[in-house]
Amino acid sequence: MSAVLVAVALSLVSAVAYAAAAVAQERLASRSPGAGTLRLLGSVAWWWSVGLNAAAALLHVVALKYGPLTVVQPLGALTLVAAVPMGARLAGRRVSPVEWRGTALTLLGLGAILVTASGPAPDDVLSVPEALAVAGATAALIGVLSRPGARPGLRHASASGVASGVASALTQTVTVAATDRSGPLLSVQVIGVALLVAAFAAGGLLLSQTAYRGGLGGPLAVVTLANPLAAAVIGLSLLGERLQGGPAGVLLALAGGGLASWGVVLLSRAAPRQEAADDDHPVAAVLALVPGSATAEPVLVPRPHDPGHLTTATR
């Protein structure tokens, strides 16, 4: 089995684990929308999601040893593809035709990207100055995206995706440098970049948790797109990675990116529409149903055509 196939297989399993963690985080955020960091640290459910993220990250690290960023990172979009049926299953509904269509477009686009991005295993790494420059620019961008203002969920999701993508690029540097037998295992470069990886990985996790307070689909779609974009910029500009096929390969990759992006948009819009439709149901609107409510409170309302008489109704 070639190194690229190993990277793809590991990335697929990693995507499923990330999807399970995202669904767990979204459910926790919906139940406790105002929970702070200290309260999350005391939640067993939170630590389960952290464990899933850690397992997914470990698989991702190994994948980065065998495959370039331009291959491994786009496969992260499969996290959304896996999270949609998981979320639908937990919500007690079926996956809609729009969601299936979004899944097909995402997979088709990813296939086109993988054809052009299937290069050799990585052998170049970021130098310490390059890693520090990338970390500084990323920290500044995250600060801008995390500022108070409108639509914090999508902005925090963008910050989370960028942090995770940069963490992946730095992780590849640590993995390749640590396994290079020409130098010491725990060099200054390896230790310093590993600390940056830990900081960005933790920051991305916390930012995604706050982003999921507004739902799963939209924020996860933004994370899914921002993550490979940030990593691809670093891989193509600093690590010498290239797309295969020349100009035709670039056009194919752009077309694949467009298809995958449209698929992600469809996936992100499908679940909220279903939820909105449920909220607009006439019975739910009249009775003001609250999930989990077992009792109805009687109120007095005028009887039709007879304002002087009152009858009981429920709410």
Q: What is the pTM of this model?
A: 0.64
Write down the pLDDT at residue 113: 78
Q: How far is CA 146 from CA 55, 77, 134, in A?
A: 27, 23, 18
Beta carbons of 144 and 163 less than 8 angstroms apart: no
Torsional sign, CA 38, 44, 45, 50? positive
End-to-end CA distance of the chain: 63
Beta carbons of 132 and 117 less than 8 angstroms apart: no
| pLDDT level of residue 222 (50, 70, 90 thresholds) | confident
Q: How many CA atoms lie within 13 A of 21 on its CB side?
A: 23
**Alpha-carbon gap, residue 295 to 216, rounded angstroms:** 30
Beta carbons of 289 and 283 less than 8 angstroms apart: yes
Most confident stretch, 235-244, 257-266, 279-288: 257-266
Write down the pLDDT at residue 1: 62
